[in-house]
Amino acid sequence: MPLGTLDRSPPPFFKQGPSALSKLVFCSALAVFLMVADTRLGLSGPVRSALAGVLYPLQWLGLQPGRAGQALGDHLASLERAQAEALAARQELAKQLLRGGQVEQLSLENRQLRQLLELREQLPPSSRAAEIVYEAADPYSRKVVLDKGALAGIERGSPVIDANAVIGQVTRVHPLSSEVTLVIDRELSIPVLNPRTGVRSVAYGEPALGVLELRFMASNADIQVGDLLTTSGVDGVYPPGLPVARVSHIERRAESTFARIFCEPLAQVAAARHVLVLTPLQTQRPVEAPAPEKAAPRAKGGRP
């Protein structure tokens, strides 16, 4: 066969079509056209919505294994947490039962001792609920204003407590409101007692640090970080045994006779909303019955 009659064109399998440069130019032009059309006409919005509607069931099915695993893990974690809380609650209940028995026994002994020594019975303090409406405008003091006043039976000098501890004292009473000086105010001082050692002291407010300070305590005094301080009741205002603060920092210096002792208040002085206003101890003293008058001696020779 003559060479001139041979077909020199490549077979269809090896045909390349348009060149790579032509494809690049065409795809670039199409991309620019689609971007301009989408910007001007918003053509891709319906397409996206349709694709999202079609693919949502597939996405939901794909997320279910992960959600099921997460729900199972949360269930197991909550179950373990509930078991741990139940165990802690049972242990705390056992402690409270023990303490309750001890309190009943101590109350009985206290009552018997008071009867034996003919001491006055301590009356439980009455209280009135109140709400803190705002803080006082004075920037140099730490005071709050309650929504109850003299018309509600609030008295000047009444102790004020929140759910945790003593928060302050009523220092000014109006007919419909009253002002409470917080325990961290520099003008307020509270006689306190360290139940661990039985030592009495006085706690003064430190508004700059937001703490209380025990002043005039010797450097070698038996006090430790973490000691609880309660009201001593010797001032005739605060009922004894109310929590006040906990010792947080002690500075003992060789050149000073007294130690610097700082205490963190247990009350929520910056976040309390509802409080109880107690009646001062000095207004709870029962009126003693007057002693019977002795009959005057009859004079000799006089008539009966």
Report the predicted TM-score, pTM, of the whole model to 2 decimal places. Answer: 0.57
- Model confidence pLDDT, tens digit, residues 183-223: 999 999 999 999 999 899 999 999 888 899 998 888 888 99
What is the pLDDT of the chain when averaged over all its residues?
81
pLDDT band for position 295 (50/70/90)?
very low
**Cβ neighbours, 10 Å, residue 235:** 17
Summarize the confidence of residues 85-103 as an average pLDDT. 80
User: Among all chains, which residue has been given the structure tokens 């140099």?
Assistant: 140
pLDDT at 166: 93
Domain ranges of the chain: 24-118, 127-283
pLDDT at 283: 65
Collapsing DSSP to helix, strand or coil, 72 comes out as helix
- Return the CATH fold of 127-283: Thrombin, subunit H (2.40.10)
pLDDT band for position 287 (50/70/90)?
very low
* CA distances, 102 to each of 97, 108, 110, 127, 171 (Å): 9, 10, 12, 26, 37
pLDDT at 191: 93
Is residue 119 predicted with pLDDT exceeding 80? no
Is residue 123 predicted with pLDDT exceeding 60? no
